Structure 1
Amino acid sequence: MKARIPKHREFIIDFPQDVPAEKANEGWDKLMAIVEDYKKSHNGQSVYSPTFIEDCEPAVKKLQEEYGFNYKVEESK
């Protein structure tokens, strides 16, 4: 049996060691809220939808300023 898994892009989020754990956890919760809000507003589409990065990147950048994490977008197989 063969299965074709499409390539997709994903956010790679990294909280530096100097960010307190409590603040990092709060940041993760808000990042996960972005994903849940995206699903609700896009008829259940997931992070694998073609426009997820473009749709969510402005909100991720805003959280980045507040919580001090680093992120990049990678293409995954």
Structure 2
Amino acid sequence: MKARIPKHREFIISFAEGYDKADECWDKLQEIMDAYKKEGKSVYTPTFIEDNEDKVKALQESYEFTYTIEER
């Protein structure tokens, strides 16, 4: 049996070691994903990054993290 896993891009979020608001930020990031899923889309949707990058950048201004976008 063969399974084809589609290539996709994903956000890689990094916090400084010991950053005390990481859990709070992860909850906010999860809210972004949950809202996206409610639209009937998934993280494998080809436009996932474009649809959510502005929201992630807005969170980045409030929380201290860096992110990259990787293709898997």
TM-score normalised over the length of structure 1: 0.88
Report what 1:57 is aligned to: 53
Quote the Cα distance in structure 1 between the aligned partners of 2:47 and 2:4: 20
Which of residues 11, 29, 33 is equivalent to 2:27?
Answer: 29
Q: Indicate the percent of aligned positions where both proteins have the same amino acid.
A: 62
Structure 1 segments of 4 or more deviating over 2 A? none
Quote the Cα distance in structure 2 between the aligned partners of 1:4 and 1:31: 28
Cα distance per residue 1:15-43 (max 9 Å; x no partner): 111521xx110000000000001111x22
Report what 1:13 is aligned to: 13
5+ long unaligned stretches in structure 2: none
Q: Return the letter of the residue paired with 2:19.
A: V
TM-score normalised over the length of structure 2: 0.94
5+ long unaligned stretches in structure 1: none
Give me the CA root mean square deviation: 0.9
